[in-house]
Amino acid sequence: MNFSLRNLALTAGCMLVAGQLMAEPKRPECIAPASPGGGFDLTCKLAQSALVNEKLLSKPMRVTYMPGGVGAVAYNAVVAQRPADAGTLVAWSSGSLLNLAQGKFGRFDESAVRWLAAVGTSYGAIAVKSDSPYKNLDDLVQALKKDPSKVVIGSGGTVGSQDWMQTALIAKAAGINPRDLRYVALEGGGEIATALLGGHIQVGSTDISDSMPHIQSGDMRLLAVFANERLDEPEMKDIPTAKEQGYDIVWPVVRGFYLGPKVSDADYAWWKDAFDKLLVSEEFATLRNQRELFPFSMTGPELDTYVKKQVADYKILAHEFGLIQ
């Protein structure tokens, strides 16, 4: 191959891996398995911006929405209907893994997809409106002890979801039966924020990345973030942790992408190579920070091992709360 032909092949985004020609997907798409505005949307739009900015995709990746079951509908659709679609990424979070651990994704388990990349982590948080009478986590706990039915808590997903688990862990630490808490099941962080600001719920069990735009606008406050220590971002440094308020709860929310189970090794390798390059770039770090995410980078077999271990750990936790036998 002469220089001009070699250059043309590289420009077209083609590579040869294990004897197979792999090329940039023709119609790249990221499915956010929830309504617009929450963490899945944020995850897809981070990849959408970064892959084009870094020239890893030559055309923008579209973002589509497939709400239902906090990821279950999208998981089943990709596995059953689009298993070999090499252009389709689906966003996942730690909450997806928790639901998989409880069998909430139906007949498909954590081995049903090709885990591609983890691109960052957030932390769980408890949000209230800025004018809420609850000024700290203990105010909320005392109200729950007095009458849990009077406090309406919005969470992404039903009983057993990661948002439910966050408040269940608080309840357990305070000696309250988590089953006595009053929940409204919502579809992701966008709906939680809308319901909270609209006065339909009093408390939102969410995560910090979903909440920061509303914190910065002055519409919401966070009673606690479930991190080991206070986060060092300037706009987050005044948010107290649950641990410093006497509740030893840490809940990281890892975010990333998977592909369908029958995507070829060559196409999987193309995406893995793209994310490996992305995750070490300074521009990506800036985009990630702008979305209030913290570093967590993992791809390929290493990620697959991590996912399987997390699901196993979540099964133990779910069993402790009587969510599975």
- Per-position pLDDT tens, the chain of length 325: 444 443 434 434 444 544 455 689 989 999 999 989 888 999 999 999 999 999 999 989 999 999 988 799 999 999 999 999 999 999 999 999 999 999 999 999 999 999 999 999 999 999 999 999 999 999 999 999 999 999 999 998 788 989 999 999 999 988 999 989 999 998 778 889 999 999 999 999 998 988 888 999 999 999 999 999 999 888 899 999 999 999 999 999 999 999 999 999 999 999 999 999 999 999 999 999 998 899 999 999 999 999 999 999 999 999 999 999 8
- Percent helix, strand and coil across the chain, each to the nearest 5: 45, 20, 35
Same domain for 181 and 210, yes or no, is yes
- Which pLDDT does position 20 carry in this prediction? 52
Same domain for 218 and 276, yes or no, is no
Same domain for 153 and 60, yes or no, is no
- CB neighbourhood size of 238 (10 A): 9
Asked if residue 306 belongs to a domain, the reply is yes
* Rounded-to-integer distance, Cα 313 and Cα 320, Å: 11
The predicted-structure confidence for 150-186, as pLDDT tens digits, reads as follows: 999 999 878 898 999 999 999 998 899 998 999 999 8
Residue 294 DSSP code: B
Same domain for 118 and 27, yes or no, is yes
Residue matched to tokens 């006595």 = 180
Cβ-based neighbours of 301, under 8 Å, separated by 6 or more: none
Q: What is the CATH number of the domain that holds 182?
A: 3.40.190.10
Structure tokens at 60: 């923008």
Asked if residue 84 belongs to a domain, the reply is yes
Q: What is the CATH number of the domain that holds 291?
A: 3.40.190.150
Same domain for 263 and 191, yes or no, is no
* Rounded-to-integer distance, Cα 282 and Cα 29, Å: 24
Asked if residue 99 belongs to a domain, the reply is yes
pTM attached to this predicted model? 0.83
Same domain for 108 and 10, yes or no, is yes
Show which of 216, 237, 252 is a domain's final residue.
252
Residue 65 DSSP code: E
Radius of gyration from C-alpha coordinates of the chain: 21
Asked if residue 325 belongs to a domain, the reply is no
* Rounded-to-integer distance, Cα 317 and Cα 182, Å: 21
Same domain for 239 and 277, yes or no, is no
296: domain range? 3-122+253-320
| Nearest residue to 130 (alpha-carbon basis) of 36, 187, 211, 250 | 211
* Rounded-to-integer distance, Cα 96 and Cα 223, Å: 24
What total number of domains does the chain contain?
A: 2
Show which of 252, 273, 304 is a domain's final residue.
252
* Residue 323 near residue 102 (C-beta atoms within 8 A): yes
User: Which is it for strands 114-129 and 203-207: parallel, antiparallel or unpaired?
Assistant: antiparallel
Same domain for 243 and 128, yes or no, is yes
Same domain for 107 and 147, yes or no, is no
Same domain for 247 and 301, yes or no, is no
Q: Each residue of 72-109: b (16+ CB within 10 Å) or e?
A: bbbbbbbbeebbebbbbbbbbbbbbbbbbbbebbeebe
* Rounded-to-integer distance, Cα 253 and Cα 255, Å: 6
Same domain for 55 and 102, yes or no, is yes
Same domain for 241 and 221, yes or no, is yes
Show which of 220, 252, 284 is a domain's final residue.
252
* Rounded-to-integer distance, Cα 203 and Cα 319, Å: 26
